[in-house]
Amino acid sequence: MAPPILSLALPSETGRVLSIQSHTVQGYVGNKSAVFPLQLLGYDVDPINSVQFSNHTGYPTFRGQVLNGQQLWELIEGLEANDLLYYTHLLTGYIGSVSFLNTVLEVVDKLRTINPNLTYVCDPVMGDEGKLYVPEELISVYREKVLPVASMLTPNQFEAELLTGLRICSEEDGREACKILHATGPSKVVITSINIEGSLFLIGSHKKDKDNSPEQFKIVIPKIPAYFTGTGDLMTALFLGWSNKYPDNLDRAAELAVSSLQALLQRTLNDYLRAGYDPQSSSLEIRLIQSQDDIRNPQLKFKAEKYN
């Protein structure tokens, strides 16, 4: 008899996460940015790498392989054949093709036949600051098929605009966008970065039941004069990690996630400066390993302001 899978036989109090994201040999984006933090927060994490690249695509060149939908499904079938397909959470990030996204939707259905209470945390990575970096046809697939099955959504401002058709020019617009997204499916929505007239903040929204308005809040975020890679992937992982520990307090989860991320970004910036590098000259690789204490035990330096 094969020995039991201990993460199934003796599950952790937190959960067992299937994370379908990109992978780079060097640097921290996608699964490289998400798996380690979730493990630090006590989760068993099984990564499926949607791509395997030498480095992220911001470098002059990169090499590697892309997983297609059929290959993804083969991995799922392999897990299922050995009764290994029980997960409490599914996490997805950048997805580059409609066919792969459609297979991810099949994965959601399959996982929910095994665990109907599966939490699906979706970062609908499509673009930023007005620039689309996935095929345009993905937008309608996210709108029509992904949103109805997602439990938590973490778009940025541009992605929230694409998904709702609403231009976000004010805090009120951001709150309204969250309500539109709730109506399509996810009970938890966090617009992770909204930039209006030079100020940066996130808006979180938790619709706890159909009859009442969502509980909404904002957290003002300081602008750091640099561009980092992998921060969106890390942020969504931290939201998954902390919101599961505080299921009824999305604002508390957001405070912890933002506090971790900001400490990590400040450390990254300081280390580049210490190395004599101009942090504004290119995108920076985050100091994930060096920031593990900030991930496991963040100092709460950012507070949520609840809307009435």
**3-state DSSP of the chain:** CCCCCHHHHCCCCCCEEEEEEEEECCCCCCHHHHHHHHHHCCCEEEEEEEEEECCCCCCCCCCEEECCHHHHHHHHHHHHHCCCCCCCEEEECCCCCHHHHHHHHHHHHHHHHHCCCCEEEECCCCEECCEECCCCHHHHHHHHHHHHHCCEECCCHHHHHHHHCCCCCCHHHHHHHHHHHHHHCCCEEEEEEEEECCEEEEEEEECCCCCCCCEEEEEEECCCCCCEECHHHHHHHHHHHHHHHCCCCHHHHHHHHHHHHHHHHHHHHHHHHHCCCCCCCCCEECCCHHHHHHHHCCCCCCCCEECC
Mean pLDDT over 19-46 rounds to 97
| pLDDT confidence band for 98 (50 / 70 / 90) | very high
Mean pLDDT of the chain: 95
Interval 104-159: pLDDT, tens: 999 999 999 999 999 999 999 999 989 998 999 999 999 999 999 999 999 999 99
| pLDDT confidence band for 250 (50 / 70 / 90) | very high
Catalytic residue from among 123, 173, 233, 294: 233
**Residue owning tokens 């998904």:** 163
Does 233 qualify as catalytic in the annotation? yes
Mean pLDDT over 81-85 rounds to 94
Which residue type is seen at 100? Answer: F
| pLDDT confidence band for 34 (50 / 70 / 90) | very high
**What pLDDT does residue 149 have?**
98
| pLDDT confidence band for 9 (50 / 70 / 90) | confident
Interval 178-231: pLDDT, tens: 999 999 999 999 999 999 988 999 999 999 998 899 999 999 999 998 999 999
Task: Give whole-number Cα distances, 277 to 2, 222, 268, 281, 289, in Å.
Answer: 53, 22, 11, 8, 20
CB proximity list for 123: less than 8 A, separation 6 or greater: 91, 92, 93, 94, 153, 154, 155, 232, 233, 236
Specify whether the CB–CB gap between 31 and 23 falls below 8 A: yes
50 is written with which tokens? 């949607």
Note the pTM of the prediction, 2 decimals: 0.96
On the question of pLDDT at 276 being above 80, the answer is yes
